[in-house]
Structure 1
Amino acid sequence: MATGSYGPCVLLKHGEVFLKGRNRDRFVDRLHDNLRVALRGVGGSTWIKSVGSITVLGGEVPVDALVERARRVVGFTSVEPGIRVPSTVEDVTQAGLDVLLDSAEHRPVRTFAVRARRRDKQFPLTSHAMEVHVGARLKGALPHLAVDLGSPEVLLSIQVDRKESYLTWTRLPGLTGLPVGSSGRALVLLSGGYDSPVAAHRAMRRGLACDFVHFNGAPYTNPSSVYKAYALARELNRYQPPGHLHVIALGKAQKQLAVAGAGRLQVVAQRRLMVRTASALAARTGAEALVTGDSLGQVASQTLANMTAVDEAASLPVLRPLLGWDKQEIIDEAHTIGTADVSVLPDEDCCQLLAPPRVSTRANLPRLRAVEKRIDVDDVIETLLDHVQVMLPGDDVPPAPAPVCRAQKEVMSGA
């Protein structure tokens, strides 16, 4: 056995952060801050250290738990469970042998390879010499195994640093991208469907910290969409320092638009009201952009002309990460990030409230402005924001939204 002590650890390879030059330290600090947030409540003490373009994670916590938390953090290209040993040729070689023996006990192993990187140039062996030395020792001890440098069944990776060396043999994909918060803050218009949660996740992977705003049809719809929005925000908050969810009851304002004669422009008028309100809310929360789940041409309200009409009402940039995605791509991504099981649940979508049988695919801006003038849109927005409900989605039970005050069928009949 090796003369030094062993310790479990996880190696986290940096992604785009590695390319940031003189700003790299700022991005790495943000990455580590996000990792610390992800480790909260993991059940024991942990530590984080930098080794070149790698973060090493360890602590008094099972490695599986560390891996699960680290894979939530945007900015790492790979997550590799491993061990750390003293930086001596004997310790590293013995550790490699133990790793290979352990792997062979759990599954059939016929081939292996060794890859080494010598970060400490005072180490007595070069990277190539280390690969040859360890590979020869492993082959001598386990002669039934063959060396395969192309596609080995076990690839033993060795990182040699000054005091400690790190050995890994499993590589799990990370979330890549930029650390959440390194690009600023955004406000996501979060519905209960597949699209907007996936758009939020994509925005996070470009470094945006996200808060959420959900518009429901209260008092004319039931609270099901609010519970879905809360569950979706809670799932998305697994990937970032938790953002707030703002719930805004839009039902009365939607009825005002209908009474003011929106007609076939009802849905686009509602979307304009949403982005106006979200822009005003963003000014209070410090957000610098809005994020939506729009996909060009997916539905009638998402034509280029209608998107342009919506953008004209916003006072902030409207980001659409899914603009060129098709529906199946979005659904597949929702399954990957864990939001699909929530999105598929039934609810009462406020966008369908008072929606006309046929939606205009080419919004008439003068007519939209005339409808908004009739309802005094600025006063409407102030009223909406005065009654916003703010939550911090986590592991707790969400507070109950306001009860339904009137049946949807009464609104549809003009009651």
Structure 2
Amino acid sequence: MHGHENHPIPAPREPEDAAPAAAYGPCVLLKHGEVFLKGRNRHRFTERLHDNLRVALRGVGGSTWIKTAQNVTVLGGQVPRDALVERARRVPGFNTVEPAVRVPSTLEGISAAAADVLGEVAAGRRVRGFAVRVRRRDKRFPLTSSRMEAHLGSHVLGAVPGLHVDLTSPDVTLSVEIDRKETYLSWERLPGLSGLPVGASGRALVLLSGGYDSPVAAHRAMRRGLACDFVHFNGAPYTNPSSVYKAYALARELNRHQPPGELYVMALGTAQKQLAVAGAGRLQVVAQRRLMVRTASALAARTGAQALVTGDSLGQVASQTLANLAAVDEAAALPVLRPLIGWEKQEIIDEARSIGTAGISVLPDEDCCSLLAPPRVSTRARLPQLRSVERRLDLDEVVEALLGSAQVLRPGADGEEDPRDPAAGRCAAPV
């Protein structure tokens, strides 16, 4: 519905998290996803969900409030409702996001609001057929759900010319949820991100490249409740910093869906050169991947991450055969999660478009994975051969050098510098 924020009866001023007074005003109903299925610890998931919602609301431009009503979160404040809807749709854990109004739970108040809402919807969308669906959370309300539906339908027909009841395929369905003190009326159900609240499942470290796959994998991990930090390996000093700019932009976009995670940038070029000199040959790409997960595991131990996340898809490229993935896993000290393992490339690209990372991933860059890559990559790398190459290097020393020279950025956080500034985000000490 358009323009309802300017309803002649003003919304009350209420601080964040205060229980709003029972007065006419716009709000947003957020229906819980898997949190609804939790048992005795459901309140912990709900608290985490609300904490994440508060983070998403930072800088929205006005005071807000959050209220819980039987597996539904109600959001409102001195902010345009469209802005609240947009912020809420970023937060994993909500199945649906519904623009709504709230009124006192009186027959007169609900009836007037129903006519007002459907009148505005009909004018804005030029709809004619409508249906009313009532849910009584408060069973003490004097009319049953079916009687209330009939009453509201009759009232709307008398108050809004040109509308008719259509219970089979209505142009708009007005949902009415009656609580003890307040009633919520909504007319549109927008999809949320669903899943679990970010942080409810622990913390992970994402190996973030500049391509389509790893950002989508990170987004999927967030929706399973993992708070994510990111590590990006670039080919410096043998490549330009374009991949770093892309990784920063991708992490910033992903951080819209969680309390901002940190981005660690590591220059892998010198170590890649060492592997090539050590005779990696056709094993070069797999040996690089093993070094990445070995370094990421060491970083995770320092940052509290409990798993690594990659964008691997089985068989998509030569380095992602089952044998090569197993060889990479053997070098990791933590579980390696691959949310996209069974996805096709087009599915990944479509998902990237839907979450807003595709436009960044398509930008040109110099990918470190192609640096020193052999013409043909081994599809069945064997551990004895890989270990033989690795023994020619001091791996502990290589890993410590990578950790010690890492840049640490926090994309999306207030006051974060642009990584194109040479001084931006440099560590004062090794991570």
When normalised by structure 2's length, the TM-score is: 0.91
Q: For the Cα contact (< 8 Å) 1:226–1:401, is it kept in 2?
A: no
Q: For the Cα contact (< 8 Å) 1:34–1:73, is it kept in 2?
A: yes
- The one-letter code sitting in structure 2 at the alignment partner of 1:121 is K
Q: Which moves more between the two structures, 26-35 or 129-138?
A: 129-138
In structure 2, stretches of 5+ residues that fail to align are 1-7, 10-21, 424-431
1:378 aligns with 2:396: yes
Distance 1:102 1:401, change over 3 A: closer
CA–CA separation in structure 2 for the residues paired with 1:28 and 1:199 = 24
Shift of 1:402: 6.2
Residues 185-219 of structure 1 show CA distances to partners (whole Å, capped at 9, x for unaligned) of 00000000000000000000000000000000011
Shift of 1:379: 1.1
Residue aligning to 2:426? none
CA–CA separation in structure 1 for the residues paired with 2:402 and 2:127 = 63
SS of the aligned residue for 1:155 comes to strand
Residues 269-320 of structure 1 show CA distances to partners (whole Å, capped at 9, x for unaligned) of 0000000000000000000000000000000000000000000000100000
Q: For the Cα contact (< 8 Å) 1:6–1:85, is it kept in 2?
A: yes
Matching of residues 82-97 of structure 1 within 5 Å? 82-97=100-115
1:204 aligns with 2:222: yes
SS of the aligned residue for 1:21 comes to coil
Residue aligning to 1:324? 342
1:400 aligns with 2:426: no
Q: For the Cα contact (< 8 Å) 2:245–2:419, is it kept in 1?
A: no
Please provide the CA RMSD for this pair: 1.5
Q: For the Cα contact (< 8 Å) 2:284–2:373, is it kept in 1?
A: yes
Residue aligning to 2:98? 80
CA–CA separation in structure 2 for the residues paired with 1:158 and 1:229 = 45
Q: For the Cα contact (< 8 Å) 1:223–1:401, is it kept in 2?
A: no
Q: Which moves more between the two structures, 302-311 or 161-170?
A: 161-170
Residue aligning to 2:377? 359
CA–CA separation in structure 2 for the residues paired with 1:324 and 1:383 = 35
Matching of residues 186-205 of structure 1 within 5 Å? 186-205=204-223
CA–CA separation in structure 2 for the residues paired with 1:267 and 1:166 = 57
1:293 aligns with 2:326: no
CA–CA separation in structure 1 for the residues paired with 2:39 and 2:166 = 36
Extract structure 1 runs of 4+ deviating beyond 4 A. none
Residue aligning to 2:152? 134
Residue aligning to 2:288? 270
The equivalent position to 1:22 in structure 2, one of 27, 40, 48, is: 40
Residue aligning to 2:299? 281
CA–CA separation in structure 2 for the residues paired with 1:148 and 1:205 = 37
- The one-letter code sitting in structure 2 at the alignment partner of 1:70 is A
Matching of residues 138-149 of structure 1 within 5 Å? 138-142=156-160, 144-149=162-167
Shift of 1:397: 4.2
SS of the aligned residue for 1:383 comes to helix
Matching of residues 178-257 of structure 1 within 5 Å? 178-257=196-275
- The one-letter code sitting in structure 2 at the alignment partner of 1:399 is P
More contact order relative to length (CA 8 Å, sep ≥ 6): 1
Shift of 1:73: 0.4
Shift of 1:5: 3.9
1:121 aligns with 2:142: no
Q: For the Cα contact (< 8 Å) 1:11–1:54, is it kept in 2?
A: yes
Shift of 1:53: 1.0
SS of the aligned residue for 1:375 comes to coil
Q: Which moves more between the two structures, 364-373 or 262-271?
A: 364-373
Shift of 1:361: 0.2
Residue aligning to 2:429? none
Residue aligning to 1:38? 56
Residue aligning to 1:315? 333
Q: For the Cα contact (< 8 Å) 2:65–2:76, is it kept in 1?
A: yes
CA–CA separation in structure 1 for the residues paired with 2:356 and 2:162 = 43
The equivalent position to 1:160 in structure 2, one of 148, 164, 178, is: 178
Residue aligning to 1:411? none
Shift of 1:112: 0.3
Residue aligning to 2:191? 173
Residue aligning to 1:69? 87
Shift of 1:126: 1.7
In structure 1, stretches of 5+ residues that fail to align are 404-415
CA–CA separation in structure 1 for the residues paired with 2:210 and 2:181 = 51
The equivalent position to 1:391 in structure 2, one of 409, 421, 424, is: 409
CA–CA separation in structure 2 for the residues paired with 1:66 and 1:72 = 10
- The one-letter code sitting in structure 2 at the alignment partner of 1:274 is M
Matching of residues 103-114 of structure 1 within 5 Å? 103-114=121-132
Q: For the Cα contact (< 8 Å) 1:188–1:212, is it kept in 2?
A: yes
Residues 112-153 of structure 1 show CA distances to partners (whole Å, capped at 9, x for unaligned) of 000111111221112222111111211233464221223211
CA–CA separation in structure 2 for the residues paired with 1:321 and 1:219 = 31
SS of the aligned residue for 2:121 comes to helix
- The one-letter code sitting in structure 2 at the alignment partner of 1:108 is R
Q: For the Cα contact (< 8 Å) 1:180–1:208, is it kept in 2?
A: yes
Identical aligned residues as a percent: 76
Tell me the number of residue pairs that the alignment of Structure 1 and Structure 2 aligns: 402
SS of the aligned residue for 1:271 comes to helix
The equivalent position to 1:58 in structure 2, one of 70, 73, 76, is: 76
- The one-letter code sitting in structure 1 at the alignment partner of 2:100 is G
